[in-house]
Amino acid sequence: MTGLDLLAKTGSRGLFIGGQWRESGSGKRFEVHDPADESVITDVADGDTSDAMAALDAAVAAQTEWAASAPRERGEILRRSFDAIMDQADDFAELLSLEMGKTLAEAKGEVTYGAEFFRWFSEEAVRVHGRWMQAPAGGSRLLTIRKPVGPCLFITPWNFPLAMGTRKIGPAIAAGCTMIVKPAELTPLTMLALANTLTEAGLPGGVLNVVTTSDSKSLSATLMADERLRKVSFTGSTPVGKVLVRQSADELQRMSMELGGNAPFVVFEDADVEAAVDGAMIAKMRNMGEACTAANRFLVHESVAAEFADLLGQRMGALRTGRGQDAGTDVGPLINADAVDSVAQLVTDAVHDGAELVTGGSAPDGPGHFFQPTVLLGVPAGSRIVNEEIFGPVAPITTFSSDEEAIELANATEYGLASYVYTRDLARTIKVAEAFQYGMVGVNTGLVSNPAAPFGGVKASGFGREGGFEGIEEYLDTTYVAIPV
Ligand code: ADP
């Protein structure tokens, strides 16, 4: 088997609606490209608004029976899907590496991470419960019932084609919701394979519908204008998230928003600098820097900044860029030419603002959308690169001289998703974790993502949590029942 064999099981890579694979109503298709050499991998059906409505009809038709299904049954479908993904982990890794560009090792990491959401929520499916209490004044009992919110729309990004889907699909299945998934048009293939895996694991038709489209805007606008859609979960950029939140006003859908980030990576003077560099490599280079949790700004105490920059420069400079599926590649291509242009412009502007280039700094000639791993030292606080999401393999370093300054710099952004601190001082750790305006703080680690933890942000990074005990709450409504006794 290879990654593409997983796709062969989906027929002609059509739309998955009501348990059936079918062509789009218009018969149109769009191409999917390999970011390493810009060649065409294959094509998929290009769904339009009438296909989207067919998917919503199917989700609505399946909702009542699905909500009434046994929690254990839903949990076991998730558990079987977890096992199936892990059994085919190499194939899933190859498929998502091919369409997204990341190395096979990273793709395997995503497959494990993504599948774990199914295992976690297979365990949560049977732990949904309400409460029974006596009213404070006595005389009546208060009962709460948890119910699935109803049909959901999931819009996912291209950077984690599997995991950004499973962390919405897992809790929705566990809670008893039906759904329409709209994968990113740049990386739609993995979601098709996943739909097939869930179906083979026993997921009834209509519970999960997948509509690939080159026109996400029309699809979401049409679906969100329909009162039968009750929930939207979106992972993507902050500007698009704001559009969707505005659109939700008419039918008041419940919203979960996992948006952009501008993660600070703070190294205090008491840190183990070598460990901080190890953590920095993960926080910066996971997914070539194309992650909303990616360290975007390195804030390093002035007494250790030169040592940190030197060590990080050596490690970054030794990385080999190449095709994700080739042995020996450390860093794959970025997703497309626009991504390379945007990263290159940020680096050029930072150097113009006075930053020193420690290593890297440019894009090699094509084909393929590569950018050299880059370290910049002495980046001024006003530079665009420390205020915007880089989404590429560039590490800008800024220095600070006191804890107060570090906290102020770290919070000086509209975003609030992930943050990282390196220190050996417990009191400082607590002070910083309390002062940071972030949904997540990694302490002496470059990786915060964990299916058992509540992933999510504050401020312009959005709201809602995925994973952990909180993850299923996004898919449950509460009905309170008053019972006078
Ligand atoms: P990125 O910059 O990471 O590509 P986007 O926010 O543009 O992030 O895309 C994330 C997801 O949102 C993708 O599935 C994309 O197709 C979809 N999308 C982009 N623009 C819109 C829009 N205006 N309305 C609805 N979905 C959109």
Which candidate in 99, 258, 290, 466 is catalytic? 258
Count other C-beta atoms under 10 Å from residue 169's C-beta. 30
Q: Give DSSP secondary structure letters for 97-143.
A: HHHH---HHHHHHHHHHHHHHHHHHHHHGGG----EEE-TTSSEEEE
Give tens-digit pLDDT for 409-422: 999 999 999 999 99
Q: Which of 316, 315, 332, 336 is nearest to 324 (CA)?
A: 332
Return the pLDDT at 38. 94
CA angle 252, 454, 462 (to 5 degrees): 45
Mean pLDDT for the stretch of residues 89-96: 97
Token readout for 277 is 């560099």
Pick from 261, 238, 270: which is nearest to 432 by CA?
270
Contact 258, 419 (CB under 8 A): no
What's the pLDDT at 409? 98
- Which pairing describes strands 132-134 and 394-400: parallel, antiparallel, or unpaired? unpaired
Answer whether the bond into residue 367 is a cis peptide, omega within 30°.
Answer: yes
- Which of 220, 223, 240, 245 to mutate to test ligand 1, by most ligand atoms within 8 A of the CB atom? 240
Q: Which residues contact 60 (CB under 8 A, 6 or more apart)?
A: 151, 178, 228
Give distance in angstroms: CA of 244 to centre of ligand 1: 10
Domains and CATH numbers, the chain: 3-260+462-484 (3.40.605.10), 263-412+418-451 (3.40.309.10)
pLDDT band at residue 16, thresholds of 50, 70 and 90? Answer: very high
User: At CA 204, angle to CA 201 and CA 210, rounded to 5?
Assistant: 90
Mutation choice for ligand 1 from 44, 154, 155, CB with most ligand atoms inside 8 A: 155
Q: Name the closest-CA residue to atom 17, ligand 1.
A: 216
**Mean confidence (pLDDT) of the chain:** 97
pLDDT value at 10 more than 90: no
User: Residue 305 is encoded by which pair of tokens?
Assistant: 């900044």
Query: Per the confidence metrics, is the pTM higher than 0.75?
Result: yes
Q: Is 292 a catalytic residue?
A: yes
What is the Cα–Cα distance from 76 to 196, expressed in whole angstroms? 16
